[in-house]
Amino acid sequence: MAQLIDGRLVSKKICENLSDEILFLSKKPCLAVIIVGEDPASRIYVNLKRKKAQELGIKSIVEQMPTATSQQELLNKIEQLNNDNEVNAILVQLPLPSHIDTKAVLEKINPLKDVDCFHPYNMGRIATGTKPYVYPCTPKGIIRLLEYYNIPPQGKHAVVIGRSNIVGRPVAQMLLNENATVTICHSKTANLAEITKTADILISAVGQKNLVKPDMVKEGVVVIDVGMNRTDEGKLCGDVDFYGVEPKASFITPVPGGVGPMTICSLMQNTFDLYNIQYNS
């Protein structure tokens, strides 16, 4: 039977420490979130972030912009926040409406305020094995879970399924920087199961329920399930067939309660870290 990797517990501890540190600051860290349009899921995520920030004593500003916002208007808004000394961290909630070039928008954010680590300066630093200002939230949460459960990646074969800029690519690079031997799989990978069967650490960031089945993993594997999907009954579930895979794994994250809580906790930690970099450098 696997040990459960409890993201709720670990994130609670990190957030408690963070809240203690913020309590003593006369000037509080400030996170600005820009949301363009009316996407209901984005609104839920933004509200969760605002609530968590409030809980921890972080000031949050939400800039709600209409769907018809032009790219230039959005770039101007980012410019304004880049120049605002009261704002320490900027997050643009994705996805953006299709008429906006997401890449151009993310590149407009000052790398020193790039709380999601999407700017090529910060991503490039990870890719070259150097420290970015802050690490991307979900990958950072995953690395912290491995640390907390004393699972050093060094020398292990880590297989990452998914190559998005938000999870797959950066987590693979961060594991490489931690001296794991890393394989990245994606939708065009041939013989996925043959590769996942060789994983000591398996990270699935795809968004497809039951993608990872028991015959795709070896005994003792550490499974990190990033996926967020819905069962036919409407319940939240990951990419991994949890009940099938769990008996073979040594450690496994549940969904919900695994990686999810770590992501929002990393966002708060990143806001605080950017605040410290800006005021102490």
Q: How far apart, in whole angstroms, are the C-alpha atoms of residue 110 and residue 123?
A: 13
Tell me if residue 49 is catalytic. yes
**Which of 49, 77, 108, 248 is flagged as catalytic?**
49
Among 28, 52, 77, 93, the active-site one is 93
Nearer to ligand NDP, 81 or 106 (CB): 106
Query: Any catalytic annotation for residue 93?
Result: yes
Rounded to a whole number of angstroms, the minimum distance from the CB of residue 204 to ligand NDP is 8
Please state the closest distance from residue 84 (CB atom) to ligand NDP, in A: 27
Q: Which is nearer to ligand NDP, 131 or 186 (CB)?
A: 186
Q: How many Å apart are CA 215 and CA 142, to the nearest integer?
A: 24
Contacts of 97 (CB under 8 A, 6+ apart): 36, 37, 67, 69
Measured from the CB atom, is 164 or 278 closer to ligand NDP? 164
Minimum gap (Å) between residue 200 Cβ and ligand NDP: 19
Token reading at 32: 């600005």
CB of 184 to ligand NDP, least distance (A): 9
Minimum CB distance to ligand NDP smaller for 21 or for 197:
197
Residue with Cβ nearer ligand NDP (81 or 92): 92
End-to-end, the C-alpha distance of the chain in Å comes to 48
Known active-site residue 116: yes
Is the Cβ of residue 32 or residue 185 nearer to ligand NDP in the bound state? 185
Residues that bind ligand NDP (CB under 6 A): 138, 161-164, 166-168, 185-189, 192, 205-208, 226-229, 259-260, 263
Report in angstroms how near the CB of residue 136 gets to ligand NDP at its nearest. 10
Cis previous bond, 214, omega within 30: no
Q: How far is the CB of 161 from ligand NDP (least distance, A)?
A: 5
What is the CA 189 to chain-centroid distance, rounded?
23
Catalytic residue selected from 28, 52, 116, 239? 116
Cite the active site residues. 49, 93, 116
